[in-house]
Each structure stands twice: as structure tokens, then as C-alpha cells.
Amino acid sequence: MSGAGPGARGALDGLRSPYPLGEALPAVYADDELAQRFVTGLDAMLAPVFNVLDCLEAYFDPALAPADFVDWLADWVGAELSGTEPLAVRRHAVATAAALHRLRGTRRGLAEAVRLSFGVQPEIAESGGACWAAKPLGPFPGSPRAALHVRVRLRHPAPGAAHLLHAVVAAARPAHLPFTAEVLTGVSTDSSSPVPEGN
């Protein structure tokens, strides 16, 4: 995802510098109108810098960071976002990115990534399985042909929903597993249902 914010943080009207340069000039420039007006322009450019530095810890908290900086944070932590999600979803994605990276490649991690992007619980069918037996040489669980199918049911899917689902599943699935993904129109899956446990 590429950040949607501006390339640089701009000046803010009415924001005063806590350290005016005019007061720090040598005394000979105290009554120099040209020098004072010149440094006043510099104060207007530096005021946002001081403001950011004074609040720097808030910029790295996804709950408090400005909206455009949340998009930068999403790039930094590798959040799986398209950039069109509501701000609250983007903040949540940044806050949970580290936990999702730990779950990447598991059923639970895949379900969480899809639910984060679409707000609904996906239907996941996979070929793998696990079991135990008291005797050796028992049948292997699951299917010998590796496969993964992810289905999402949405009431009103967006035009690019199928492409987004494909991208999310490709990023969150086990790397060796071939997959298919589909978006169906219909009653959406309950987003409050619990996430399946990881494999």
C-alpha cells in the first residue's frame, strides 16, 4: 500500500513558534524591521517542526497519529491495506500488524487479515488436517492434493472486492499453498463470530 498522505507536513495558520528567532538575534538586530520580518517567516516554517517534536510519541501511536501519518505507519509495519479503508480500520490495522505477522500462514491469521479488509468472517476450506493414532502407519489426514479456498459473502461488494480478496489471501496464506478466492453477493457472514483457531 502506498501512503495517501502528503509528501511533507505543511505550515499551520496561526501556529506560533515557542522559540521565536527574533528574540535570539544579537541586540543590534532587535530594532531592524527587515531582519525581524525575515526571521518571522522562518518562525512560521519552524513552528510545525517544534510542534511535531513536542508531540513525537503521539505520531507513533496509531490511536493518536494524524490521519496521513497513519498511512505512513501502515507502510512501515507492513499492514495489508488498500488505502481506501475508513480511518478507524487503518488505525486498527496498524495496531494489530505485529500480531498478524506472527499468525501469517495460519488459518487464524488468514481469517483475521480477510476480516480486517472486509469486516466479515470468511469461509475457509483447506486440504490440510491433523490427527493422532495409537498405531503407526495409519491413514494421513486431509487431502493429498494441496488446496485452499476462501469465500467472502458481502451484501454489496465493491467493484474491486474480488481483486482485493485475491491480494489479501495471496499475502496471508501459507506460501506453498495454491489457492482460489471468491466474493459472493448475499447475506454477509456475521463479523462478530469468533475467528477459527490457528493450525
- List the chain domain ranges: 21-54, 107-199
Separation CA 111–CA 175 (nearest Å): 16
Q: What is the pLDDT of residues 36-53, one digit of tens each?
A: 888 887 878 788 788 778
Instruction: Give whole-number Cα distances, 39 to 15, 25, 26, 34, 54, in Å.
Output: 15, 9, 13, 9, 21
107-199: CATH, from 2.70.40, 3.40.1350, 3.30.300, 3.40.50: 3.30.300
| Close Cβ partners of 186 (under 8 Å, ≥ 6 residues apart) | 153, 154, 155
User: Residue type for 118, please?
Assistant: F
The total of other beta-carbon atoms located within 10 Å of residue 175's CB is: 8
Cell 454489496 belongs to residue: 156
Average model confidence (pLDDT) for the chain?
A: 80
Give the model's pLDDT for residue 10. 58
Q: What is the pLDDT of residues 66-102, one digit of tens each?
A: 888 898 898 888 887 777 778 888 898 899 888 888 8
Q: Are strands 179-185 and 123-126 parallel, antiparallel or unpaired?
A: unpaired
Instruction: Give whole-number Cα distances, 199 to 30, 131, 173, 174, 177, in Å.
Output: 72, 12, 12, 11, 14
The whole-number average pLDDT for the span 48-66 is 85
Share of the chain above pLDDT 70, in %: 85
